[in-house]
């Protein structure tokens, strides 16, 4: 009785609220998790600045090589090691390449490696974490042992070992550039999925006990649908943060590999490779080091700030503060 | 405590065995033939090549080869370098002390700097100190070691001429002068490594400390009338350090990565530069041995961290 009358009594109790106001309330868009996150993210000034920088760098590397008049592989020995000027804003290399053109072109590869390696890591990590967390038991302990094992692997030496052993085979099968790209992306991804697997497993462990999952079971939803449709979307927040930071990590790893001269071949100017080529000329042409290095630093710093902002925005504990 | 340590030791052994299996499998699956140079050599007939293969056990099944390899590694026999023809273990014993000295000093400095900075940052959250420290930590964390290293050389060697660009192992000048030369050349590589680690550790220490100082028992300690210093150092810090110890152990593999790069930049004659030159020379036994040694060191440091964790947090022992 009380419920029905209570509801009817409410307008009477608050006569000040007109019907128009109520209609206005109803047409206002409901706040979703994502709009809340965006609201929060906007207030993180450095994260916003980071996003702007990343967008600028990404757009520049995608369309820049078409707009900049000097091609990345054009070289002129007569113009070697020129300091930055109007014609060559970032100077030229020892062979007379325009550094600006090479940074634009190389950025494509560095960023693409970062993004794809992250996708490999996220896919592997989510798969392993989801299986371990959902099924538990033997499968869980076996997979977690595997995760611990991978965490104990020294990643750079192993990365060097694998690229050293497989690069010729990959180059022969897919061609030098594509082969190296696949190899680096798969290996970096394959050595960085562990944190994601742990995060996803932890989320699965807590979410699978929730009432709405029980409800889904009770109306006969299949295991696959429960995992993919009901649990997975709820683990997204930590995965998105890990993915963002993973891109930065992968860019650094690829640059390290190229910096050691063991990544992409010399005719592909990734940012790390440019540093490798520059380090012997450092005393005469410091700009050969400064600009590619700044490109890596700026990209990684911006991505890290975006990751930080996303962490704040997507963490429900920090919301509404 | 002894039982706890023994239990940890017993789990470290299978991890090491598993790692060695992973590394061996990668090598076994890799294309390429260790006797490839004989294949193109006309003075070595095919039947001789077959005999060499057989005598070296290359035709044995992978598990047999793995067992042979693993038992000799346990005895400290890593085979001979293709390049210098000397035992790999000798090469490594020459290089390992330098690497451990550089990494160890860098890590020690990082821990000694990061913990106080992180703690002060957390205690004075949003102060000027905190803002500056957090920003610097963020920048340090995003600066790859290879770029910092090159910047250091540009600034301190090329421009200012304070430190030598290249690390020399062959300094034999006697007395204090020789000692200073040895220290001087290590300053830049150690600083580069320490900078990155300090940045990462500061962030973790601050986060962990922030979580701890809002706990009820910290409020209780204050309510008892303890001085702020006692509250922070004895009640909050000791608990906040527990996760930091784990992070320190988990970032050990990362510092080896840093070491490989720093050694390459400053030409420090350590394990990392040995690894790179071995890769450039196709010197497989050396590459395998270094990868294994790095893994063993990672497992060892994890073990030490686990033991420390048990000391710091008595609950762990009884789980």
Reduced 3-state DSSP string for A236-260: HHHHHHHHHHHHHHHHHHHHHHHHC
CB contact, 8 Å: A300 with chain B? yes
Q: What is the model's pLDDT at position A77?
A: 67
B193-233 pLDDT, tens digit per residue, is 888 889 888 988 888 888 888 888 888 888 888 888 888 88
Task: Please provide the size of chain B in residues.
Answer: 319
Measured between beta carbons, the chain B residues lying within 8 angstroms of A307 are none
Which H, E and C letters describe chain A, residue by residue?
CHHHHHHHHHHHHCCCCCHHHHHHHHHCCCCCHHHHHHHHHHHCHHHHHHHHHHHHHHHHHHHHHHHCCCCCCCECHHHCCCCCCCCCCCCECCCCEEHHHHHHHHHHHHHHHHHHHHHHHHHHHHHHHHHHHHHCHHHHHHHHHHHHHHHHCCHHHHHHHHHHHHHHHHHHHHCHHHHHHHHHHHHHHHCCCHHHHHHHHHHHHHHCCCHHHHHHHHCCCCHHHHHHHHHHHHHHHHHHHHHHHHHHHHHHHHHHHHHCCCCCCCCCCCHHHHHHHHHHHCCCCCHHHHHHHHHHHHHHHHHHHHHHHHHHHHCHHHCCC
Q: What is the model's pLDDT at position A284?
A: 74
Q: Write the Ramachandran bin of A220: left for phi over 0, alpha for psi from -120 to 50, otherwise beta.
A: left
User: Is the confidence at residue A242, as pLDDT, over 90?
Assistant: no
Chain A: nearest CA to B259, how far in angstroms?
Answer: 10
B20-70 pLDDT, tens digit per residue, is 888 888 877 776 666 665 666 667 777 777 777 776 666 677 788 888 888
Measured between beta carbons, the chain B residues lying within 8 angstroms of A300 are 142-144
CB contact, 8 Å: A142 with chain B? no
B73-87 pLDDT, tens digit per residue, is 888 777 777 777 788
User: Is the confidence at residue B319, as pLDDT, over 60?
Assistant: no
B275-290 pLDDT, tens digit per residue, is 888 888 777 788 888 8
User: Is the confidence at residue A16, as pLDDT, over 70?
Assistant: no
Selected residue of A154, A275, A298 to mutate for chain B interface (largest B Cβ count, 10 A) = A154
Selected residue of A103, A147, A157 to mutate for chain B interface (largest B Cβ count, 10 A) = A157
Measured between beta carbons, the chain B residues lying within 8 angstroms of A157 are 256, 260, 275, 290-291, 294
User: Is the confidence at residue A31, as pLDDT, over 60?
Assistant: yes
Average pLDDT over residues A156-181: 81
Torsion angle, alpha carbons of B74, B79, B83, B85, to 10: 130
User: Is the confidence at residue B316, as pLDDT, over 80?
Assistant: no
User: Is the confidence at residue A164, as pLDDT, over 70?
Assistant: yes
What pTM was computed for the model? 0.82
Q: What is the model's pLDDT at position B170?
A: 66
A200-238 pLDDT, tens digit per residue, is 888 888 888 888 888 888 898 888 888 888 888 888 888
Q: Write the Ramachandran bin of B21: left for phi over 0, alpha for psi from -120 to 50, otherwise beta.
A: alpha
Q: Inter-chain contact A160–B276, Cβ cutoff 8 Å?
A: yes
Of A169, A256, A301, the CB nearest to B146: A256
CB contact, 8 Å: B246 with chain A? no
Q: What is the model's pLDDT at position A115?
A: 92
Q: Which residue of A has its CA nearest to B145?
A: A256
CB contact, 8 Å: A284 with chain B? no
**Dihedrals phi, psi of B313, to nearest 5 degrees:** -125, 95
User: Is the confidence at residue A123, as pLDDT, over 90?
Assistant: yes
CB contact, 8 Å: A154 with chain B? yes
Q: How far apart are CA A179 and CA A176, in angstroms?
A: 5
CB contact, 8 Å: A149 with chain B? yes
Average pLDDT, chain A: 79
Q: pLDDT-based confidence at B19, cuts 50/70/90?
A: confident
Cα–chain center distance at A172 = 30
Measured between beta carbons, the chain A residues lying within 8 angstroms of B142 are 248, 297, 300-301, 304
Q: Inter-chain contact A153–B253, Cβ cutoff 8 Å?
A: yes
User: Is the confidence at residue A8, as pLDDT, over 60?
Assistant: no
Q: Inter-chain contact A151–B250, Cβ cutoff 8 Å?
A: yes
Q: How far apart are CA B157 and CA B274, in angstroms?
A: 24
Which H, E and C letters describe chain B, residue by residue?
CHHHHHHHHHHHHHHHHHHHHHHHHHHHHCCCCCCHHHHCCCCCCHHHHHHHHHHHCCCCCHHHHHHHHHHHHHCCCCCECCCCCCEHHHHHHHHHHHHHHHHHHHHHHHHHHHHHHHHHHHHCCCCHHHHHHHHHHHHHHHCCHHHHHHHHHHHHHHHCCCCCCCCCCCCCCCHHHHHHHHHHHHHHHHHHHHHHHHHHHHHHHHHHHHHHHCCHHHHHHHHCCCCHHHHHHHHHHHHHHHHHHHHHHHCHHHHHHHHHHHHHHHCCCCHHHHHHHHHHCCCHHHHHHHHHHHHHHHHHHHHHHHHHHHHHCHHHHCC
Q: Which residue of A has its CA nearest to B26?
A: A162
User: Is the confidence at residue B114, as pLDDT, over 80?
Assistant: yes
Q: How many CB atoms lie within 10 A of CB B298?
A: 25
Average pLDDT, chain B: 81
Q: Inter-chain contact A148–B31, Cβ cutoff 8 Å?
A: no
% chain B with pLDDT above 90: 2
- The answer for B 142-181 residues in CB contact with A (under 8 A) is 142-147, 150-151, 153-154, 158
Q: What is the model's pLDDT at position A4?
A: 43
Task: Please provide the size of chain A in residues.
Answer: 321
- The answer for B 115-144 residues in CB contact with A (under 8 A) is 138-139, 141-144
User: Is the confidence at residue B263, as pLDDT, over 60?
Assistant: yes
User: Is the confidence at residue B241, as pLDDT, over 90?
Assistant: no
Q: pLDDT-based confidence at A116, cuts 50/70/90?
A: very high
Q: What is the model's pLDDT at position A223?
A: 85
- Rg (alpha carbons) of chain A, rounded to whole number: 26
Measured between beta carbons, the chain A residues lying within 8 angstroms of B141 are 304
Cα–chain center distance at A28 = 34
User: Is the confidence at residue A27, as pLDDT, over 70?
Assistant: no
User: Is the confidence at residue A24, as pLDDT, over 70?
Assistant: no
Q: Which residues pair with A47 in a beta bridge?
A: none
Measured between beta carbons, the chain A residues lying within 8 angstroms of B276 are 160, 260-262
Out of A203-207, A313-317, B156-160, give the one with best mean pLDDT. Answer: A203-207
User: Is the confidence at residue A316, as pLDDT, over 70?
Assistant: no
């Amino acid at each position: 009785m009380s419920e029905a009358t209570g509801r009817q009594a409410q307008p009477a109790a608050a006569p000040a609220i007109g019907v128009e106001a109520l209609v206005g309330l109803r047409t206002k868009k409901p706040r979703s998790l994502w709009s809340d996150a965006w609201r929060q993210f906007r207030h993180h000034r450095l994260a916003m600045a980071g996003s702007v920088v990343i967008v600028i760098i990404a757009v520049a590397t995608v369309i820049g090589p078409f707009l900049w008049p000097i091609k990345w592989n054009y070289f002129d020995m007569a113009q070697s090691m020129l300091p930055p000027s109007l014609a060559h804003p970032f100077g030229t290399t020892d062979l007379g390449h325009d550094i600006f053109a090479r940074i634009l072109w190389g950025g494509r590869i560095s960023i693409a490696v970062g993004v794809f390696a992250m996708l490999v890591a996220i896919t592997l990590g989510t798969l392993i974490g989801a299986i371990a967390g959902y099924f538990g038991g033997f499968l869980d302990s076996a997979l977690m042992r595997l995760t611990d094992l991978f965490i104990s692997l020294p990643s750079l030496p192993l990365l060097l070992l694998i690229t050293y052993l497989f690069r010729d085979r990959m180059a022969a099968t897919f061609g030098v550039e594509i082969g190296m790209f696949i190899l680096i992306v798969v290996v970096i991804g394959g050595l960085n999925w562990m944190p994601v697997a742990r995060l996803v497993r932890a989320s699965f462990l807590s979410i699978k006990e929730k009432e709405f999952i029980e409800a889904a079971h009770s109306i006969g939803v299949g295991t696959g649908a429960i995992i993919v449709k009901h649990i997975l979307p709820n683990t997204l927040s930590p995965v998105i943060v890990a993915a963002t930071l993973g891109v930065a990590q992968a860019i650094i790893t690829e640059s390290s590999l190229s910096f050691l001269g063991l990544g992409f071949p010399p005719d592909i100017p990734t940012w790390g490779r440019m540093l490798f080529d520059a380090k012997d000329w450092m005393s005469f042409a410091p700009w050969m080091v400064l600009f590619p290095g700044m490109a890596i630093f700026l990209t990684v710093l911006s991505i890290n700030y975006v990751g930080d902002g996303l962490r704040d925005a997507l963490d429900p504990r920090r919301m509404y503060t | 405590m002894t039982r706890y340590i023994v239990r940890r030791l017993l789990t470290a052994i299978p991890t090491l065995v598993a790692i060695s299996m992973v590394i061996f499998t990668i090598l076994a699956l890799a294309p390429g033939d260790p006797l490839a140079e004989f294949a193109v050599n006309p003075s070595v007939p095919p039947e001789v090549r077959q005999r060499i293969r057989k005598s070296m056990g290359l035709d044995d099944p992978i598990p047999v080869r793995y067992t042979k390899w693993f038992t000799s590694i346990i005895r400290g026999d890593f085979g001979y370098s293709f390049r210098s023809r000397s035992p790999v273990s000798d090469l490594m014993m020459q290089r390992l002390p330098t690497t451990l000295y550089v990494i160890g000093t860098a890590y020690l400095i990082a821990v000694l700097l990061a913990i106080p900075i992180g703690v002060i940052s957390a205690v004075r959250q949003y102060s000027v100190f905190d803002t500056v420290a957090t920003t610097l930590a963020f920048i340090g964390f995003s600066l790859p070691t290879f770029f910092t290293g090159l910047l250091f050389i540009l600034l301190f060697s090329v421009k200012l001429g304070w430190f030598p660009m290249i690390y020399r192992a062959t300094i034999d000048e006697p007395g204090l002068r020789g000692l200073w030369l040895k220290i001087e050349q290590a300053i830049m590589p150690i600083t580069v490594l320490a900078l990155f680690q300090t940045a990462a550790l500061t962030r973790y220490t601050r986060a962990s400390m922030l979580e701890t100082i809002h706990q009820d028992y910290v409020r209780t300690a204050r309510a008892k009338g303890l001085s702020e210093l006692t509250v922070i150092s004895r009640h909050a810090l000791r608990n906040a350090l527990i996760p930091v110890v784990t992070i320190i152990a988990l970032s050990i593999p990362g510092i080896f990565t840093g070491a490989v790069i720093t050694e390459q930049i400053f030409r420090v004659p350590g394990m990392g530069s040995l690894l790179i030159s071995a890769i450039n020379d196709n010197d497989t036994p050396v590459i395998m041995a270094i990868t294994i040694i790095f893994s063993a060191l990672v497992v060892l440091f994890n073990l030490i961290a686990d033991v420390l964790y048990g000391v710091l947090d008595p609950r762990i022992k009884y789980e």
